Each structure stands twice: as C-alpha cells, then as structure tokens.
Structure 1
Amino acid sequence: MTKGLTQAVSMKQILDLVRDDLKRVEAAIGLETVGSVSAIKTISHHMHSAGGKRLRPILVLLSSRLVKSSSQTTDEAIQLAAVVELIHTSTLVHDDVIDEAKTRRGAPSANALWGNQMSVLAGDWLYMQAFQIAMRQRNFAILDLLIGLTQVMVEGEFLQMERLGKIDISETDYMELVDRKTASLFSACCRLGAMAGNASEEDCARLGDFAWNLGMAFQMIDDILDFTSKETILGKPVGNDLAEGKVTLPLLYALTETTREETRSIETILKDRSYERVPFSRVLEIIEKYRGVERAQERAVQFTGRARQIIETFPDSAYRKAVLTIADIVTDRDR
C-alpha cells in the first residue's frame, strides 16, 4: 500500500470517529459567520469553502472524547472547535496580507480578490467572532487561554517580520518562531478540548504538551514541503517561503556548512525576494548537498516521538489511537 493511500485510510478512520461532530462544527461556523455586512459574509464564505484539513477542530474534538468516559461530545467542545477554526482562519487572512500572497489552498487569496484593507478587517471580524463564541461559555479559564494564545501568536508575527531577509537565523530563533506561530495554537486546541471534557488540570497540561510537540513537527514538515512538494499539491508556489525572505529549517541546517559562494547565492534571493538571479534549482542543490531536508525530518520525528510518549500515558481507547495516528500522519505527509 502506498504512503498516500495509507494516510487516506488512516485519516478516514479518524474522521469516522468525529464525522458527526465535525458537521456540527461546520454548521456552527456557517451560522456564526453570517455578518450583517455583505463583504464580511462573502470573504468569510470564501475562506471557509477553500477547504483545509480541519486538523485543529479535530484535535479539540478528539481531546474532549479522550478524557471523557461518555461518548457524547458536549456542546462546549463543538463551540470551542469552531472557535479555534475561526482563529486559525483569521490568522491565514492576516498572514496572506503580510506576505502579499496571491493564492491560498490553490485558490486566489482573500487579499488578491478584495484587497488588503477589506481582508484585514474581515480577519479582525472573524477573530472577534471567535471570541464572541468563547465568551458565551462563561469560563474565565478558556478566555485566559485564548488571550494568552493571541498575544503569543501576534508576537510571533512581529518576530517573523523582524527577521525577514536575514540569513543569520539560528535554530533557536527558528524554534521560537514555530512555537509562537504554530505550536501554541495546537497546544491550545487540545487544552480546550480537555477543558470541555472536564479533565483535570494535569490531563489538560499533558494534552497541551502533546499537541505543542505535534505542532512543532507539523510546521517543520510544512517547511520541508515548501522545498520538496509541487505547487498543485501545496496550493501555492514551491519555494515560496524563501522568496518571501524566510529562512526555514532545511535551509538553516544547510547554511551551517555552505561555502561563501553558496551563502552569497542565498543572500541574493533574500535580497531580491525572487529567483530571477539565482534559480530555485540552485537552492535545492545546496539543501541536498548538506542533507537539509533529511536533518529537518529527523528533528520533526524527535518532536512527534515526544508527542507519542505523552499520549501513550493515557488509557487505551479509539480516541487515543486516533490521536497517535495523527502524530504518524504529521511526519509522513506529502501535503
């Protein structure tokens, strides 16, 4: 069985566990994104209908089920799953504006269709709508978590902008950015699901730690795929990160060993924000020469290994198996 087919089977098994719940989440999102201003409704619908893995709401739902003795998913878990997907969508809208992206998941980005100003406002509205839903839970612990998450993610965006175009990025710098921009949201998803399942603080913390490690690995694989995948699979141009001025893990590892001439080639791309003078194929040669992709994959596997260790401390169940499967899929995916 091929890797792609294996992943499809595994993901189908996971979706079978939460399919009905995801339908409720989708319905909640559809209901909550009907704004009184037509532009908001149009942009929200565009972003929501673009698809996506729905991995973050799935983590909320699975975490809630994992810690509950009942197989029933609470309304709180459904609402919080909608919250994290709306927050994620709002960050995508804002990221595309900041990165001046033209596509998202193979379709025109919101800013390409409606411009930066309307897109920023739509992203703000989606984010505030997420908090409106969260407020209805009347739970200060949930609000504290979401406010802290927001601060961390915004700080991550600032850090990324400060480092754009810089070649002297350390592995510590990179890990800090991934922590703030990706892993923190993954961690919040599982903590929120556990809270909705009335888990102990210890279990909430353990699930949060699991998901943080999962999020770190997820972003590393994303950064690998930016070099190794195809535009038709990624839904955006390959090599896009470097062309936007971002030095990610595969290239970062290679740069620890490059010759002066090779380093100058990368500096040229960062300065030009394009591959006009130095082709993308040259970057791939450099990364391959110094095993940048392999080393980044090994690092990602270390994080999913830690994630697996944590989740295996929970009692065996279909939901624990599903979460373990997600950890496998994250490091073995091709999109």
Structure 2
Amino acid sequence: MSSLSIATATEVFDLLRDDLAAIESEFAHQSDSPVEVVTDIAQYLIAGGGKRIRPMMLLLSARAVGCESEARIRLGAVVEMLHTATLVHDDIIDEASTRRGRPSSNTTWGNAKCVLAGDWLYMQSFQTALAERNFRILDLLISLTQQMVEGELLQMEKLGHLINEEEYFDLIYRKTACLFKVSMQLGAVIAVPPTTPNAAPFEEALGEYGRNLGLAFQIVDDVLDLTAQDDVLGKPTASDLREGKATLAVIHALERGTGADREAIRTVLADRSFARVAHADILEILQRHESLAYAMDTACAYAEAARQSIADLPESDYKRALLWVPGFVTTRDR
C-alpha cells in the first residue's frame, strides 16, 4: 500500500463539489419529460437526496486517471438515474411505504405509474450514455442492468427461505456491488479515446475496488437495517426480515444458534412479520452469537480489500479520496 495519506471528508467534498453540482443539474435536465407525471416522479426522487455515492465513485475514478472530459458529468447522471430506477422498482416489489424518511413514490403515484417511470429512467439513462458513441460504455451498462434484474428475480425466489453465505454474496453483488464496480470502470473508460483497442489503464483495478466497496456497502446497509432507529434510517427498522430476506448476520446466527434460535429466525422469515417473535428477541440472538460483529468485520475486510485494489494507482488527491471512501462506508449510520 502507498504511503499516501487518506483524505478527510471535507477534502473529498471540496474536490468534488462542482462536479457533483453539475451532475445534479444534468440529472434534473435528463429527467425532464414531455409527459408531466414522469417529470414529477423524477423530480420528487431527485429532491429525496441520497448519498450520491455512485456518481462520486465515477468522478473519483475518472479524475484519478486524469479524465477532464465532460463525459464524467453525463455518465455520473447516468449511474444515478440507473440507481434511482432500481429504487423505484424495489419499493414497488417490497411494497415499501417510505424511502429516505419520506413517502415512497409508489404511495403517492401508485404502482402502475411508478413502474413505468422507473422504466423511463432506465431508457433515458441509456439514451444519455448512447451519446458517448462508445461501445465499451454500452457493454458495461447492458451487462450491469441484466445482472441487477437477475439479482432482483433471484431474491424474490428466495424470500422467506434460508440461504447460505455464497448465495447471499451472489445476491448482493448483483443488486449492489455490480453498480459500484461499473461506476468505477466507467470512470476509467472515459479517460481514453473510444477508439483505443485495449482496455483502459487501471479499469480492472478500479473495477475491483468498486466490487469490494459495494459488497462492504451492502453488508453495512443490512446491519443498519437490523440495528438503526427508524428516524435515522428513513424507513422502518428490520425491513429485510419483514420481507423474508436473510442477510449476513442472520445467516451467521442460523449456522451457530441453538435449535430454539434457528426456529425463532425461521418463524420471522416465514411469517414476514414479528407477530410471533419480537424484533428484540432476534437482536438478542444476533448479539449472543456475535453475528452483528461478524458482519461488520466482514464489511471492514472488504473495505480494506478495496483500498488494496488501488495500491498501484498513481498518487494524487483523487487517490487519497478513494482511500477515504471505504472508511466512510463502514462507519456511516444510515
């Protein structure tokens, strides 16, 4: 690992402030449709905020390899549009009533309009990407979209059922880490002319960084779902268990718990509610078997692997920022 120091949060956001503001404007511009309800839903989702971590990853990746092209702004908006489209569809599938502390879009406009608005955002993101006239970009985005849809379908098949760690990591790669990986790869790709015959320098290393960071991000998300307060999380706590999803800490406890422990967890997953077993009882099981700590330790290991992935990247303020992000991901509270 390089001796380069890790940036601070202030330094990172100072580095990216103008680019992130430009991406926000581009996202709003790209979400403007002649059909008013599409624009209304898109603007509502944009106003809901979010961490914008995926466009931030693309910006840092692009800047770390010397990209000055305006493509970084357009593609930053593309990855955020894709992410937003997945959230719209997720809320419909999960029958969610809140998102980031506000009513979810489907509770306001209904499932039918929102699923179509999500489809529109997918297509608009591809329309924007197509303007780059770069087949590698389209190849990455098409493969990404297929994997995200496959991940959602696989998860739906496994709801209410027990899964092992291998199945869990396959799911979270498809649903989350794949988008992190592609965001990083896109940053590398746009730094070289589209006619370049070979892979962009550092594309593989940056993609590996994104994969590891995405896995860490989702594991932490799953732990927070179990432990955070509703008002901090912006949605009901333990939504995953209520939806029949077994996440890493739960899988760990199932493998190590007593017969009574396993039965309690199975009951919640099958019922998709805490009607017969309280949330506090599940937390006690997870804490007794140190399952929450195990999940966080695993997330931290992936975060460190992300840092190691970019050891050979040229030293710069953007590399320092990339070294900061894994710590942000593993210490956040929402």
- TM-score, normalization: structure 1? 0.94
What letter is aligned with 1:101?
Answer: A
Match of 1:103 among 98, 103, 121: 98
Distance 2:200 2:173 in 1: 21
Alignment of 1:22 onto 2:52 = no
CA deviation map 1:203-250 (0-9, x unaligned): 111100111000000000001111121111110111110011000001
Distance 1:270 1:327 in 2: 31
CA deviation map 1:247-306 (0-9, x unaligned): 000111011011222212112212221112111000000000111111111111111111
The runs of 4+ residues in structure 1 deviating greater than 4 Å are none
Distance 1:166 1:257 in 2: 17
Which residue of the partner structure matches residue 264 of structure 1? Answer: 263
Distance 1:268 1:174 in 2: 19
Alignment of 1:118 onto 2:113 = yes
1:316: how far off?
1.4
Do 2:205 and 2:309's aligned partners in 1 also have CA atoms closer than 8 Å? yes
Distance 1:330 1:144 in 2: 28
Distance 1:281 1:193 in 2: 43
CA deviation map 1:174-193 (0-9, x unaligned): 00001101110000001001
What letter is aligned with 1:135?
Answer: L
Match of 2:149 among 133, 150, 154: 154
For 1:206-221, list aligned pairs within 5 A. 206-221=205-220
1:10: how far off?
3.3
Alignment of 1:296 onto 2:298 = no
Unaligned runs of 5+ in 2: 1-6, 194-198
What letter is aligned with 1:267?
Answer: R
CA deviation map 1:48-86 (0-9, x unaligned): 100001000011111111001x7xx31111111000000
Which residue of the partner structure matches residue 281 of structure 2? Answer: 282
Do 2:177 and 2:211's aligned partners in 1 also have CA atoms closer than 8 Å? yes
Which residue of the partner structure matches residue 48 of structure 1? Answer: 46
Alignment of 1:189 onto 2:183 = yes
What letter is aligned with 2:158?
Answer: R
CA deviation map 1:141-176 (0-9, x unaligned): 100110000111111001100100002x10000000
- Quick one: percent identity of the two aligned structures? 47
Q: What SS does structure 1 have at the residue aligned with 2:303?
A: helix
1:202: how far off?
4.2
Distance 1:87 1:156 in 2: 15
Which residue of the partner structure matches residue 320 of structure 2? Answer: 321
Which residue of the partner structure matches residue 86 of structure 2? Answer: 91
Q: What SS does structure 2 have at the residue aligned with 1:329?
A: helix
CA deviation map 1:83-104 (0-9, x unaligned): 0000000000000000000000
1:327: how far off?
1.1
What letter is aligned with 1:12?
Answer: T
CA RMSD of aligned residues (A): 1.3
Distance 2:201 2:304 in 1: 20
Q: What SS does structure 2 have at the residue aligned with 1:155?
A: helix
CA deviation map 1:97-140 (0-9, x unaligned): 00000000000001111111111001000110000100101111
1:11: how far off?
2.8
Which residue of the partner structure matches residue 3 of structure 2? Answer: none
Distance 2:184 2:126 in 1: 17
Distance 1:327 1:268 in 2: 35
* Greater Cα offset, 263-272 or 28-37: 263-272
- The size of the alignment, in residue pairs, is 323
Distance 1:264 1:243 in 2: 16
Which residue of the partner structure matches residue 234 of structure 1? Answer: 233
Distance 2:8 2:82 in 1: 27
Distance 1:305 1:15 in 2: 21
Unaligned runs of 5+ in 1: 1-8
- TM-score, normalization: structure 2? 0.94
Which residue of the partner structure matches residue 5 of structure 1? Answer: none
Distance 2:241 2:11 in 1: 36
Which residue of the partner structure matches residue 31 of structure 1? Answer: 29
